[in-house]
Amino acid sequence: MINNQFTHNIVSLRLARIFTLLVIGINVVVLIGWLSGWMSLTRIAPDEISIAQTTALNFLVLSMGLWGCMFVKKQRKGSYLIVIISATAVICMSGYLLLCRLFEINSEWEHFIFSIPDSSFQYSIGHMSLVTALLFLIFAFAQLFLLSKSDLLLKISSVLSFLILSCSLMILLGYGLKAPFFYSGKMIPPASLTALSFLLASLGLIFESDKNCFIISKMRSTETSAKLSMTFLPIIIAFTLAESIFIVQILPLLPIHPAIAVSLITLFFIAVISFIIPKVARRFGKSLDTATENLRFSEEKFRSHFEYSPVGQSLTGMEETLDVNKSFCNMLGYTEDELKSMNLMTITHPDDIKLTTDRMNELTDGKVKMVRFEKRFFHKNGNIIWVDLSAFLQRDKNRKLQYFISTVSDITANKKMETALKESEANLKELNSTKDKFFSIIAHDLKSPFNAIVGFSNLLTDQIRENDYNGIEQYAEIIQNSSQRALDLLKNLFEWSNLQTGRMEYNPEFTDMAAIIRETVALLSPSSELKSIGISMDLPHDHIIFADKAMIGTILRNLISNAIKFTNPGDQIVISAEQLQHELKVSVWDNGVGIGKEELKKLFRIDESHSSPGTLNETGTGLGLILCREFVEKHGGIIWVESEPGKGSTFCFTIPKVLY
């Protein structure tokens, strides 16, 4: 701000200096014309009045005062004295000549060089006109007031400067219209060069006052009232022309002295310029300033909300992106420039393009004022971003489409939670259904052995009461087998329930798979020997795994027991272990009855009951394979079966070498 003021001061002083030099130059040429007798140098056109010798001299003295004012601004010593002496000399000379014109006193000393009659006018040349003397007096006082520190006197100086400027303009306009102003009858009119000199001198005085001139300061202002004042300039120019015509036509008819009439009219004109128009401008400007400030505040409020909103904001045209905020950029992983250079439809999920187009068309067709819907964008890294988008359409005053204002919230996390909740709900329904089927299966499997136990126990009790011991050994064997079956089922059920509820501890350790297989075969050897089934093992040495020894034992016990149950007496079972790249594969092969395709689908499923009698009508629990699958998966492995009816079955499972 200080630099701007300093620049304005320098420019104003330079302009004032230029105008002062022009005034000096014009009047020096005039005096040369008088001294040399070359009268064409004393007027602009041949048929115009020459500028008086005293007028030219006054302008030179006045110019000294103007130059002194410049030194006052620079605080040079003696500058105040120069201005005061210059203004005093002009006041004395002009005041005396003004009295001579008013009282028609002839002052021969005006022709201090020589006098030449001018035949082109009815007046003798070489005399200062009344209006010129009056303007010199006004100018001198304006100079003196400019030295004051009083705001009132400085404002009066500004008004007087513009008064002289206006009068000189009207005089020049009169000469342009071939009707010189400010004279009637025998009144001497100001010369055109006099008007031009006053015009330049008044401009010099105005620019010397610079910021002290309230009119110039108003024009420099950026306020609305100042701008309105500038819009009144064409009106001022038109008013000047109208006043000029009025003076030419009406002045000869007025009963008062022409100089007084012109002064009053001009003062009115200056009052309009200096006071009325700025006041009207301020009144209208204040309202406009308030409206402008409200609009600016509204725009800043919108911009702040747009830029710093925690949710995404975008302004989009029909084909291009006009603006986006930082939250929207962070949401999609693009920079602001990248998003502005693309159409957002290019990063919209293909399945949502039609939805987006249809909803935006509802806005453009005027069916709704706002739309809200969910859609998907592609993040810069390729991920899908779910958003909740609200948009409305901004139109101009002609109802023409301008842009869409959209608010975009990232709901990807909510969508994932919603999807997970739906999946969890579906899983829960499936688990509940599975649980119901499983309990039905367990109830059925438990009911059968307990019916046998209860039934044959009652029969055995009745026969013992009657001392009938025929067949009681067979009954006791049936009761024993049914009890063992129920015990096996309860044991598997207990282990499975502990695993499901997390009460079964998983304690992996480094152990030898071959050793576990041998221990399990030894444990089940009585059952295999009862059916004369041979068990061969293909077990390379050092099959070290990281596993829970008890769980692996349960897996092997169930698979080998099933193989014994479904293998014909006298046949063979083969147990093998194969070292793969990252895991150990264990296989249990038998050449028993095999399993059909439909039955294979039911294996390892808790919601399907599959329990077939063995080759000697042995019964199973139906829960063993389910428990095997759970234990294998607990170790990070898989279990499967390969079988054909009549050709036997091969059950396989894998255990990773080391489970991280």
d(CA 328, CA 485): 67
| pLDDT score of 193 more than 70 | yes
The two tokens of residue 249 are: 């036509």
CA 61 to chain centre: 66
d(CA 249, CA 531): 147
Model pLDDT for residues 84-97, shown as the tens digit of each residue: 888 888 888 888 77
The two tokens of residue 111 are: 């022709």
On the question of a common fold for 309-410 and 414-502, the answer reads no
What's the mean pLDDT in 365-380? Answer: 91
Q: Which of 20-29, 376-385, 456-465 has the highest mean pLDDT?
A: 376-385
Q: Give the burial class of 239: count Cβ atoms within 10 A of its Cβ; 0-12 exposed, 13-18 middle, 19 or more buried.
A: middle
Distances (CA, A) of 261 to 97, 265, 361: 19, 6, 72
d(CA 481, CA 583): 38
pLDDT-based confidence at 11, cuts 50/70/90? low
> For 38-54, b where at least 16 C-beta lie within 10 A, e where not — what string?
eeebbbbeeebbbbbbb
Helix (H, G, I), strand (E, B) or coil at 401: strand
The two tokens of residue 316 are: 């989009």
Q: Which percentage of the chain shows pLDDT scores above 70?
A: 69
505-660: CATH number: 3.30.565.10
The two tokens of residue 139 are: 């100018």
Q: Which residues are paired to 315 by β-bridges?
A: 323, 405
| pLDDT score of 3 more than 50 | no
The two tokens of residue 95 are: 């005041």
pLDDT-based confidence at 238, cuts 50/70/90? low
| pLDDT score of 214 more than 60 | no
Identify whether the C-beta of residue 176 lies closer than 8 Å to the C-beta of residue 192. Answer: no
DSSP class of residue 393 equals E
Identify whether the C-beta of residue 266 lies closer than 8 Å to the C-beta of residue 163. Answer: yes
By DSSP bridging, strand 648-656 and strand 583-590 are: antiparallel
Q: For 112-197, where are the E strands, in sequence order?
A: none
Between 430 and 311, name the one with better pLDDT: 311
Q: Which of 252, 95, 120 is nearest to 182 (CA)?
A: 252
Residue 425, number of CB atoms within 10 A of its CB? 10
Model pLDDT for residues 622-639, shown as the tens digit of each residue: 567 887 888 898 888 999
pLDDT value at position 472? 78
What is the architecture of the domain spanning 309-410?
Answer: 2-Layer Sandwich (3.30)
What's the mean pLDDT in 378-404? Answer: 87
The two tokens of residue 611 are: 């329990």
Identify whether the C-beta of residue 85 lies closer than 8 Å to the C-beta of residue 140. Answer: no
Model pLDDT for residues 291-305, shown as the tens digit of each residue: 667 777 777 776 777
pLDDT value at position 373? 93
414-502 fold:
Helix Hairpins (1.10.287)
pTM of the model: 0.40
Between 456 and 231, name the one with better pLDDT: 456
Distances (CA, A) of 631 to 99, 434, 495, 548, 625: 131, 19, 10, 9, 10
The full set of domain ranges for the chain reads 2-213, 309-410, 414-502, 505-660
